[in-house]
Amino acid sequence: MMNFSICVSGAAGGRTVKSGRADAELLGRTIAKSGHTLTTGATVGLPYYAAQAAKQAGGMSIGFSPASSLREHLHKYRLPIGVFDFVNFTGMHYVGRDIHLVQSSDAIITIGGRFGSLHEFTTALLSNMPCGVLTDSGGTAAVVEQLVEQLEAPNRDMLVFDDDPERLVAKVIKMLEKDYADIDLKDELARWYLDSDAPHYG
């Protein structure tokens, strides 16, 4: 089975954090139990709850920090550690971190959210990436469908909506499996990069 990196994007603070905690935890747990990797912005709030639940379920959790070092992550940005198997210290601040996080993931799921989550969503959609939206979770997730229609967004076929976290994760994984159906993982692993005639740098 191919391992996909699925980003959970949601509010670090604000109204949707308390109401969305259980759903964020279920998203993280479901991604982990499905055998895939969770990616987040290495932040507090809904992404933290997802990362914590994924870790508790025995899954892989990778955080993408706006900071350039652990010290900066902890003391300048006041962000957590302890629920991530690896933290990528991007040094790109929040806006650059968002782009790096999305581009390092295979799909994104939006739960609740504020402007940062909207930035991650639009980055993913413009990148023609599968985008899951947890409806009824408020915030960004509540306005996405209207924005997509009003602004004539591209790649609308890459959008899936559901009000159930487990069903939403299943829909996103199904989209990814369809997108990568042409790749025979066993064949790829046995082939080109082990071939001494293949072009390599260095």
Dihedral in degrees, nearest 10, Cα atoms 27, 28, 29, 32: 120
Query: Looking at 42-90, which runs of residues are DSSP E strands?
Result: 60-65, 86-89
pLDDT of residue 184: 75
pLDDT of residue 182: 87
Complete edge-to-edge strand list for the sheet that includes strand 159-162 = 86-89, 60-65, 37-40, 5-10, 107-111, 131-134, 159-162
pLDDT of residue 201: 65
Q: Helix (H, G, I), strand (E, B), or coil: what is residue 158?
A: helix
pLDDT of residue 1: 73
For residue 151, give the DSSP letter.
Answer: T
pLDDT of residue 76: 97
Domains, the chain, ordered by start: 5-194 (3.40.50.450)
For residue 163, give the DSSP letter.
Answer: S
**Going residue by residue through the chain (202 aa), what tens digit of pLDDT does each one get?**
789 999 999 999 999 999 999 999 999 999 999 999 999 999 999 999 999 999 999 999 999 999 999 999 999 999 999 999 999 999 999 999 999 999 999 999 999 999 999 999 999 999 999 999 999 999 999 999 999 999 999 999 999 999 999 999 999 999 999 999 988 766 655 565 666 666 666 6
**Rounded Cα–Cα distance for residues 10 and 154 (Å):** 22
**Rounded Cα–Cα distance for residues 57 and 11 (Å):** 22
Give the global pTM: 0.92
**Rounded Cα–Cα distance for residues 19 and 191 (Å):** 48
Q: Are 113 and 16 in contact (CB under 8 A)?
A: yes
pLDDT of residue 124: 98
Which residue type does 27 have?
A: L
pLDDT of residue 18: 94
For residue 53, give the DSSP letter.
Answer: H
Q: Are 129 and 194 in contact (CB under 8 A)?
A: no
Structure tokens at 75: 């003391």
